[in-house]
Amino acid sequence: MFLNPSYQPNNFKKLFSFVQTIVETEKCLSIPLSLKQFLEEYYHSIKIVLIGEYIKHRTFNGANKALPVLASSLANAGFSRVVQLDLERDDLSIADVLYEVKNADLVIFAGCLTTQWQEIDEHSQKIFTTLMESGRQNVPILVGGYASKSVEDIAQITPWITAFCNGEGENSIVEIAYAVAKGNFHHNMKNIPGLCFINSSQAFYLPEPDTHKLANFHRSTAPRVTNFDDIDQNFGMKHISKVHNMDIFKTKDGRQLKTAQIFTQRSCTWECGCCNKSQDSNHVVRLSEASLRRQLRQLKQHGYEAIYLDVDTFTAHPTAAKREAEMLKREGFVWGSNTRIDKIDYEQMCYLVQHNCVYMFFDVEHTLPEVSLANHQFNGSVSSQIKQAFDYPVKVKQVFQDMNKAGLLSSYSLILGLPKAKLNANKTEILGFEPTTLEDDLSAIHFALEECNPDFFNCNILRFMPGSLAADTPGNCSYTCVRPSGEKPITAGYFLERAVKQYGYPQSPTHGVYRLCESVGRYQPITTAINPQRIYDTICYAIQLINAKIDAGGKATKLFIDRDLLALGLVSRDETGRYAIAPLEDFAKI
């Protein structure tokens, strides 16, 4: 072999790129077979490090599915050196990540949430410093997941982040890896779908020196993946019992079942205002039965006993849902999933229960018709949406009554501090929008606990997640009256302390009591309709109703509560299921 193993990496990549160009043309026949084999081995031997950030405040358990999915995509394409580093693992720290990136060719923060920008910012800086100290000046650092939505302002102040991966990654990750292997990634970034970055001739796409003058930002979204049958959704994933196992999947004697998450479909045909899942594409794609069967059998071999189907509306396609239920039972799993109130009935529930379904989650959001309208919860004309909104509470009540009758564990979720529509006297036209009140939320909670009697209950505070209608819509819209930025969109920068200070963004007030609702921490823009006292009174009311039901011999509905609050004793539950809560002032200390 005429190639010197000590050949400098950058020079070798230039040579490799040149030779690869020849290999990809008809001239490849003139290349010696030994050289082609060497190039192929080198091509697929680049080291790719996938990093999963930890969730700082956690209400629900769940896995970062991006890591194994992307790793599986890369493995299918022949890339053999892919390292998954999920920082939720107790045996990993940022020090381990820094050790692994020293000889990396590509570093990706995968499956990130906008709420994790504080951690991404800190860790990506450390990775960049380590790469520079290791002489790895041209290694791309990418950020993917929902954290890449509306991220231009963060891009201006994070020059060490090469690009942001927007959209689905199964195909785009392979294109990125190919470009890195060829040595032309930086030159070819603009041609890779889904990459967003600052256009500049400077190295690493640095912004202009004047930070008040925004550099041109290149926007792109990766197209919807139409086939993910060959993806192993749990490829190389290390099971983390305290994060992945769900409290809902247990044996009769209380033993926790080892739980895996799988998606059998992607996307959602609805466009609810505070959700960002349907904004990229509402074209629903399903997993084939053969692929599902293969993955279930692999999971069974690894000791898994329960499956949570992490989909948006499991029963949107009833026939397919029944077939998947049959398969889950046949392969020996108990399971649960998400769906919509208006996409399930009693007959379906009974069929699912017969096939080992034990749990169903519903993001009810709110039952006041005026709130459903402001939240864009339904599709169709305005008159159709108004009719659906007024029919909605009846459907919600019926579904939960049916679930109780069918023996299916139910979970009910509300969003607090939403806007609501102002209707004309005939309730045929929307005149404007205004914030909901404490009384609106208390009535929704009373309806949930007294009329629907769920097994699990949780409240969210309306957070403005970039990529959603609520956050992105400029001007006067239904969310203007409760959005901290008013008519201006909420960007990813609102979630990062440095960006908030850099751009002078209005910051939502913080208080420990907000953590009684799902995963709310500092630097998260939340609705202006709420305040600490209102949230405390709301949760106290829910606890009062739950305790009263138990005292009357009724069901002990369980609240989803941040585990740190339970550990601190701010919320406690006795052996009967009755709750106690600390005074409001105690929450101000956390």
More confident position, 37 or 311? 311
Contact partners, residue 88, CB within 8 Å, separation at least 6: 52, 54, 55, 64, 240, 243
Would you state the pLDDT for residue 271? 58
Would you state the pLDDT for residue 202? 39
Would you state the pLDDT for residue 37? 62
Would you state the pLDDT for residue 406? 93
Residue 94 clears pLDDT 60, i.e. is over it: yes
Would you state the pLDDT for residue 36? 57
Task: Give the tens place of pLDDT for each residue, 259-317.
Answer: 999 988 876 655 555 455 555 556 677 889 999 999 999 999 999 999 999 887 888 88
Return the closest-CA partner of residue 340 out of 264, 396, 262: 396
Q: Tokens representing 185?
A: 């990634």
Residue 139 clears pLDDT 80, i.e. is over it: yes
Give me the phi and psi of 428, to 5 degrees please.
-120, -5
Residues comprising the chain, all counted? 590
The CA distance from 183 to 18, in Å, is: 10
Q: Tokens representing 282?
A: 């509402």
Residue 463 clears pLDDT 70, i.e. is over it: yes
Q: Please identify which residue in the block is written with the tokens 């082609």.
A: 36
Would you state the pLDDT for residue 223? 86
Three-class SS state of 42: helix
Residue 21 clears pLDDT 90, i.e. is over it: no
Residue type, 574: D
CA dist list (Å): 344 to 341, 363, 378, 452, 456: 6, 13, 16, 15, 18
More confident position, 9 or 566? 566
Would you state the pLDDT for residue 288? 92
- Over pLDDT 70: what percentage of the chain? 87
Give me the phi and psi of 126, to 5 degrees please.
-65, -40
Residue 23 clears pLDDT 90, i.e. is over it: no
More confident position, 441 or 60? 441
The CA distance from 491 to 472, in Å, is: 8
Write down the mean pLDDT value for the chain: 87
Reported confidence tier of residue 26, pLDDT bands at 50, 70, 90: very low
The CA distance from 223 to 239, in Å, is: 30
**Could you give the count of Cα atoms lying within 13 Å of 315 in the half-sphere of its Cβ?**
21
CA dist list (Å): 242 to 115, 262, 421: 21, 18, 41
CA dist list (Å): 186 to 74, 125, 198, 381, 542: 20, 19, 12, 46, 54
In 462-560, where does DSSP find H-type helix? 469-472, 497-503, 532-551
The CA distance from 316 to 104, in Å, is: 42
Residue 574 clears pLDDT 90, i.e. is over it: yes
Q: Tokens representing 190?
A: 């603009």
Q: Tokens representing 470?
A: 């609520």
Q: Tokens representing 117?
A: 């920008």
Would you state the pLDDT for residue 549? 96
Residue 62 clears pLDDT 60, i.e. is over it: yes
Question: 538 and 580 in contact (C-beta within 8 Å)?
Answer: no
**DSSP code, position 263:** -
Three-class SS state of 566: helix
Contact partners, residue 119, CB within 8 Å, separation at least 6: 53, 54, 56
The CA distance from 336 to 314, in Å, is: 10
The CA distance from 504 to 515, in Å, is: 25
Residue 16 clears pLDDT 90, i.e. is over it: no
Q: Please identify which residue in the block is written with the tokens 């908030």.
A: 500
Read off the pLDDT of each residue in 453-467 and give the average, rounded to a whole number.
92
Would you state the pLDDT for residue 148? 95
Task: Give the tens place of pLDDT for each residue, 506-522.
Answer: 999 889 999 999 867 77
Read off the pLDDT of each residue in 343-361 and give the average, rounded to a whole number.
92
Return the closest-CA partner of residue 241 out of 230, 255, 225, 227: 255
Contact partners, residue 504, CB within 8 Å, separation at least 6: none
Three-class SS state of 547: helix
**DSSP code, position 223:** P
The CA distance from 327 to 259, in Å, is: 17
More confident position, 365 or 312? 365
Three-class SS state of 397: helix
Residue 18 clears pLDDT 60, i.e. is over it: no
Question: 528 and 463 in contact (C-beta within 8 Å)?
Answer: no
Reported confidence tier of residue 209, pLDDT bands at 50, 70, 90: very low
Strands (E), 291-425: 306-309, 334-338, 357-365, 409-416, 419-423
Residue 28 clears pLDDT 90, i.e. is over it: no
Q: State the virtual CA torsion across 375, 376, 382, 386 in degrees, nearest 10.
A: -60
Read off the pLDDT of each residue in 196-209 and give the average, rounded to a whole number.
56
Q: Please identify which residue in the block is written with the tokens 């009693």.
A: 346
Q: State the virtual CA torsion across 304, 307, 308, 314 in degrees, nearest 10.
A: 160
Residue type, 58: R
Reported confidence tier of residue 557, pLDDT bands at 50, 70, 90: very high
Reported confidence tier of residue 30, pLDDT bands at 50, 70, 90: low
Interhelix angle 318-330/346-354, rounded to 10 degrees, is: 20
Reported confidence tier of residue 32, pLDDT bands at 50, 70, 90: low
Read off the pLDDT of each residue in 241-254 and give the average, rounded to a whole number.
88
Would you state the pLDDT for residue 534? 96
Residue type, 526: I
Strand partners, 415: 460
Least confident of 23-27, 297-301, 372-376: 23-27
